[in-house]
Amino acid sequence: MLDAFPASPAMVSDPKRWVSLRDDHIKIDKEKMEINEIQAKRILQKSGLPDTNYVINPYIGCVHGCAYCYARFIKRFTGHTEAWGSFLDAKINAPALLKKQLEKRKEPLKEVVLISSVTDPYLPAESKYKLTRAILEVLLEYQVPISILTKSDMVVRDLDLLRQFKKCTVGLSLMTINNELAHRFEPRAPSPTRRTKALRKLRENEIYTYAFISPYLPHLSDIERLMETLNGLINEIGVEALNTRGANWVGVEQILTQFYPEFLSGYKQLSKDDGYWSTLEDKTRHLTAQLNISFMGLYRH
């Protein structure tokens, strides 16, 4: 049970605009969410992320319900007062807007565009709105290099487009390959099993793939088991240290208290001692070298 993280979906007056939050492996009875259709002013944005120059976020918000989510900070800029995870805005003009932005450029965009940074481009609503797919069609027209990061196996839907890009990488974000553990921390995201199957399908279609282990949870994520499962499915891997100082720590702390109280005191020491992460980084580098997988590094907070 995840009583510490109940969804608080807003109900919509028009039932035609309801999008179910049901997932194949997670049943959330009678929960439906309003999808607000908005007009974005800009869709191709400069990014402040490491090694990322541009980013596209087709949606505002996310419905995965991850306890550790850092993206909730965007509420400060969007004006949403609802609980994070209980709203979603669809930028319905995004494809047309992107085309206008690319047409106005004096030179072709040759830098990699990340899809996405503060939402998931393959949320359940994407099956209805198909904004990410339409965005990919525009980017393909201009052969803009892309990198996709998602928690959803829906990404394989767009393999027909992805195969046509001259430069395309697709990453699946994972914190574990244990489905039960993942369900506790990310209750409405597709299971790790589904994500690893998506990586296999992408790799079979000669798409450059990577896994982003985010966040890494000491004593729970298990880097050796992750590497064993991901071997042969990815070209590259990156790891992000758990942020125990951000606002998202509250949700992680609640789940640890409920399910893994024996680890709680140790987690609280992580912000004071970088030794654990240095050891993990060295171990991951050794494992990736053995498996001939590129190591993107370990990202600390």
**DSSP string covering the chain:** --TTS---PPP-SSGGGEEE--BTTB--TT-EEEEEEE--S--EEE--STT--EEE-SEES--S--TT-SGGGGHHHH---SPTTS-EEEETTHHHHHHHHHHH-SS---S-EEE-SSS-TT-TTHHHH-HHHHHHHHHHHTT--EEEEES-GGGGGGHHHHTT-SSEEEEEEES-S-HHHHHHHSTTSPPHHHHHHHHHHHHHTT-EEEEEEEEE-TTTS-HHHHHHHHTTT-SEEEEEE--SSSTTHHHHHHHHHHH-GGGHHHHHTTTT--HHHHHHHHHHHHHHHHHT-EEEEEE--
Q: Does residue 2 fall inside a structural domain?
A: no
pLDDT of residue 70: 78
In a domain? residue 275: yes
The CATH number of residue 111's host domain is 3.80.30.30
Count of other CB atoms within 10 angstroms of residue 293: 21
Q: For residue 149, is it within any domain? A: yes
Which residue segment(s) compose the domain that 167 sits in? 38-299
- The token duo for 233 is 């499915």
Domain count, the chain: 1
Domain-embedded: residue 173: yes
Q: What is the pLDDT along the chain (301 residues), one digit of tens a residue?
A: 222 222 222 222 232 322 333 332 333 333 567 799 999 999 999 987 777 889 999 999 999 999 998 767 676 666 777 777 778 999 999 999 999 999 999 999 999 999 999 999 999 999 999 999 999 999 999 999 999 999 999 999 999 999 999 999 999 999 999 999 999 999 999 999 999 999 999 999 999 999 999 999 999 999 999 999 999 999 999 999 999 887 789 899 999 999 999 999 999 888 778 899 999 999 999 999 999 999 999 999 8
Strand order in the sheet with 236-241: 44-46, 54-56, 113-115, 146-150, 168-174, 208-216, 236-241, 294-299
Q: What pLDDT score does 202 carry?
A: 98
With respect to residue 290, please indicate whether it lies within any of the assigned structural domains: yes
Residues in the chain: 301
For 229, the token pair is 């499962």
| Residue 16 lies inside a defined structural domain of this protein | no
Please, are residues 84 and 77 in contact by the beta-carbon 8 Å criterion?
no
Instruction: Please check whether residue 202 lies inside any domain of the structure.
Output: yes
The closest of 108, 164, 107, 112 to 133, measured between CA atoms, is 164
Q: What is the pLDDT of residue 77?
A: 67
Alpha-carbon distance of 286 to 288, in angstroms, equals 6
The pLDDT, as a whole number, for residue 71 is: 65
Torsion of CA 136, 138, 140, 143, to 10 degrees: -130
Q: Is position 281 within any domain?
A: yes
Q: What pLDDT is recorded for position 87?
A: 87
Q: What are phi and psi of 115, to 5 degrees?
A: -130, 100
